Amino acid sequence: MSQPSFNFKPPQFDRAYDYLYHYAQTQGEKIALVYGDERISYEDLKHRVDTLATALLERGLQSGERIACLSAPHPECIQLMLASMAIGAIWVGINPRYQLAEMQHVIDDARPKFLFSRSQMGKRDYREELTALKENHPDLQLVILNGDLKAANGQSFTDFCEHKNRTNQYLPLDSIDGESPCLIVYTSGTTGKPKGALLKQSACVRHGKLSLAQFKPEPLKVINYYPVNHVAGIVANSIYTLVGGGCNVLMEQFNPAKALETIEKESITQWGGIPTMLQLCVAHEDFSKRDLSSVQLLSWGGSAAPQTLLQTLSERVPYLSTLYAATETTGGTFIMPPNRDLDLLAQSVGQAMNDVEYRLVDEQDNVVSDGNVGELQLKGPFCMLEYWGQEEATRDTYSKDGWLKTGDLAKQDNNGNLFLIGRSKEMYKSGGFNVYPREVEQAIEDIDGVDMIAVVSVPDELYGEVGHAYITSKANSQLSEESLREDCRQRLANYKIPKAFHLLNHLPLLANGKIDKKQLQANARAIAEHSS
């Protein structure tokens, strides 16, 4: 078995395309992407990216304009992302689990010039949604990656790439540097509507440069089943692997049996996920049967991992690591170096990465001393440029003296290890995905018969946290838990749908007339504890 590197020195570029060019020249035949039986070398990947970039330029895409991709993590998504980064465009990933209203918000907000999409993924047909998006945005140019072109008057991806009037372009364009914006990643806001974090080129590659310098599996072969609108899949997996000249093994979506099969079949050396995914893998009957001996590093983020889970995983994997990351920080800012200290790994997210300034402050922004709880605030070259088109929201995310406010409460020990305590905002994480109660409430408010609605979160052993919805109904309505759940399936991605719906005659109110969410949360916790 190959041994990992503890002193890898990745090339020091500030643009993603420079890494693609470098590895296409130095290891062109090495495999860069795997999807099922498809193998794409670095040389081939560069050729495909160059072809796409030229096609985009010839169709008039300008620096700063957006292209969107509605798809699971297929090779075309990675190619489109790198092509857009090479010419100064901005790439927007859209989760295929979104419902039409969620897709519509992203298109309304980002205003992409092109939308690349599959017409069908798994058992779901997207033709009606694509037709609706095109009708609402007549200038949107639709390119179908597979399947039926007629429903939404789309052009085929093959025809798009085979555009004949080629012009010679030297990529990346000279006008692009490390400060150039390149990605919009949507993350929900406390007002309910997702906000687009605008990220820059140098921030996207810095996570890989810093992480791989500490520990690099040899050979670097990463399994990637995150959606295309998740910073973990885009930055912490895809661009990270590119920075290290490794192999990015793509899966259409997470499935524990398929993930374990892929690890064995592809000899994966770095396995990552949120704790929920890892718990599902460990609980699966194939966990004990599959050969996982190729894995050198297991890493996770999104929430804390139970020590019992880490104990089981440590019996199969030599090194474990965790990190603290956020969309607004373009990936990781704190990291626990790979080790086998299960007590520490279960409690702490590690120490600040080399370029991270941080502080823990009280409600008046006064720095708290070691051992005391405060809000984590950050500074560094990794911070987002802005929330796309939202000056007020961007301003509110920073303190008066320029620190990014994470909303996470934490404390640190004398060694600089950070321990997360909770979140000061209402947002909760279910299965590693951010969920904001107000967004869920707004979706449920639109259901016929709903009068009042409040959503609170409670701890959950599998998903970390889940939502409970408390609802009062209008007179003569026929609401039920089953009907509410079905309506939510049409309006929300599945990880946002509350685990439980409670129909009440009235909701408890505070003296100021607001719903008493603390009382509801206590009730939800009691119900959850009783049922466990």
Averaged confidence pLDDT in the chain:
91
Please name the fold of domain 430-531.
GMP Synthetase; Chain A, domain 3 (3.30.300)
505 has which bridge partners? none
- E-strand stretches of 2-136: 31-35, 38-41, 66-70, 90-94, 114-118, 120-121, 124-125
H or E element: which one contains 64? none
Look at residues 164, 162, 168, 141 and name the one whose alpha carbon lies nearest to residue 52. 162
CA 57 → CA 63, 85, 170, 171, 183, distances in Å?
A: 9, 12, 12, 11, 18
Q: Looking at residue 190, what is its pLDDT? A: 43
- E-strand stretches of 119-251: 120-121, 124-125, 141-146, 155-156, 181-188, 194-200, 221-224, 247-250
Question: What's the one-letter identity of residue 46?
Answer: K
Q: Range(s) for CATH 3.30.300.30 in the chain?
A: 430-531
The C-alpha atoms of residue 503 and residue 464 are separated, in whole angstroms, by 24
For residues 479 and 504, the answer to whether their CB atoms sit within 8 Å is no
* Percent of the chain clearing pLDDT 90 (strictly above): 73
Q: What is the CATH number of domain 328-423?
A: 2.30.38.10
Q: Range(s) for CATH 3.40.50.12780 in the chain?
A: 16-253
pLDDT in tens, 161-172: 886 665 556 777
pLDDT, average across residues 45-73? 95
Tokens of 295: 């894995």
Whole-prediction pTM: 0.85
Question: What's the one-letter identity of residue 150?
Answer: K
Question: What's the one-letter identity of residue 35?
Answer: Y
Q: Treating both helix axes as pointing N-terminal to C-terminal, what angle do 201-214 and 16-26 enclose, rounded to 10 degrees?
A: 50
For residues 201 and 177, the answer to whether their CB atoms sit within 8 Å is yes
Residue 121 has pLDDT above 60, yes or no: yes
pLDDT in tens, 438-468: 889 889 988 999 988 999 999 998 999 999 9
φ, ψ (nearest 5 deg) of residue 164: -85, -30
* Correct CATH for 16-253 of 3.40.50.410, 3.60.20.10, 3.40.50.12780, 3.40.50.10540: 3.40.50.12780
pLDDT in tens, 185-217: 998 644 467 899 999 999 999 999 999 998 999
Residue 480 CB neighbour total at 10 angstroms? 13
The C-alpha atoms of residue 243 and residue 210 are separated, in whole angstroms, by 10
Q: Looking at residue 361, what is its pLDDT? A: 95
pLDDT in tens, 175-189: 899 999 999 999 864
Residue 386 has pLDDT above 80, yes or no: yes
For residues 239 and 91, the answer to whether their CB atoms sit within 8 Å is no
For residues 64 and 85, the answer to whether their CB atoms sit within 8 Å is no
Q: Range(s) for CATH 2.30.38.10 in the chain?
A: 328-423
Residue 511 has pLDDT above 70, yes or no: no
User: What is residue 27's three-state secondary structure?
Assistant: coil
* Residue 422's pLDDT band (cuts 50, 70, 90): low
pLDDT in tens, 467-487: 999 998 988 888 999 999 999
